[in-house]
Every structure is written in C-alpha cells, then in structure tokens.
C-alpha cells in the first residue's frame, strides 16, 4: 500500500532539490529525484515490495511540479515579450509551450527512474536499521 503523505513529501523534496541543484551546479541535478525517492520510502509506512513504485511516483509527481513551474515561469516571460513585440510574442509562446512539454516529459521520465532507484536505496536503509535495532533476548 502506498503511503501518499510520504510520496507527497518526497515529490516536493524532489522538485525543490532538482531545481536548486540545476541552478547551483548542474551535474548534481540527479540527486533530487534519488533523495526524494529515498525519503519517501524511508519515512513511509509502505510495503518493502512497493519501494520502487513509491520512489518512481515521487519522481513522476516531482517532474510534473518542475514542468508546471517551468511553464508558469516562461509563460509569464513570453507574455511580456508578447506585449513588447506582437509578432515575436506568438513565436515565443509556441516555442515556450513546446519546450515546456518536452522538459515536463523528460523530467517525469528521468525523475521516475531515479526516484525508483532512490526508493530501493531508502527501503534497504530502513530495513537494515530495523535489523540493527532489534535486540535478541
């Protein structure tokens, strides 16, 4: 059973970290989805066999958030360009929409795969932690 609260937390963490790492130091962008999937399965109460699915869900939802933010930000930019230059504004709006859809799909795919990997890592760490804590009489 999927723990949707943990998936939501992981997805938001995924989106925030991916954007921050992309802006600060681009080669580290892949850590966002991995850490989002890790956190979702580590704090979640889901089954061990659903770890990859939970991690992938964080990546997909995080990719949707990134795509929405991209479209919202560049939509405002293309509207300003449209006000300044009427003819160029139409072309900029179309290019922005196509680029936004492409970036959203790419973010969802990459985030889903990396989130699934992070989910598997998170559940392994959680299970190893439980083994170490158990005290045998």
Please list, residue by residue across 65-79, b when 16 or more beta carbons sit within 10 angstroms of its beta carbon and e when fewer do.
bbbeebbeebeeebe
- Reported as a pLDDT band with limits 50, 70 and 90, residue 92 is low
More confident site: 79 or 4:
4
Tokens in use for 61? 């939802």
Residue 137 pLDDT more than 70? no
Q: What is the mean pLDDT of residues 8-35?
A: 92
Q: Residue 50, Cβ neighbours under 10 Å: how many?
A: 17
Q: What is the mean pLDDT of residues 3-32?
A: 92
Whole-model pTM?
0.82
- Give dist(CA 28, CA 113) in Å, integer: 16
- Give dist(CA 107, CA 58) in Å, integer: 11
Please list, residue by residue across 81-102, b when 16 or more beta carbons sit within 10 angstroms of its beta carbon and e when fewer do.
bbeeeeeebeebbeebeeebee
What percentage of the chain carries pLDDT values higher than 70?
81
Helix ranges (H only) for 1-137 are: 4-24, 31-43, 51-84, 86-133
Residue 89 pLDDT more than 60? no
Mean pLDDT over all residues of the chain?
85
Q: What is the mean pLDDT of residues 47-67?
A: 93
Instruction: Name the nearest CA neighbour of 112 among 23, 37, 12, 50.
Output: 37
Q: What is the mean pLDDT of residues 92-113?
A: 84
87, 36 contact by CB (below 8 A):
no
């Amino acid at each position: 059973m999927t723990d949707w609260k943990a998936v939501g937390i992981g997805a938001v963490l995924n989106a925030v970290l991916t954007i921050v790492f992309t802006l600060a130091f681009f080669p580290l962008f892949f850590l966002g989805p991995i850490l989002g999937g890790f956190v979702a399965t580590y704090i979640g109460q889901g089954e061990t066999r659903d770890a990859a699915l939970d991690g992938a869900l964080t990546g997909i939802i995080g990719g949707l958030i990134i795509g929405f933010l991209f479209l919202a930000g560049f939509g405002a930019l293309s509207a300003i360009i449209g006000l300044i230059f009427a003819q160029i504004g139409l072309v900029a709006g179309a290019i922005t929409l196509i680029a936004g859809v492409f970036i959203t799909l790419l973010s969802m795919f990459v985030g889903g795969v990396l989130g699934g990997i992070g989910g598997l890592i998170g559940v392994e760490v959680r299970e190893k932690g439980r083994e170490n804590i158990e005290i045998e009489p």
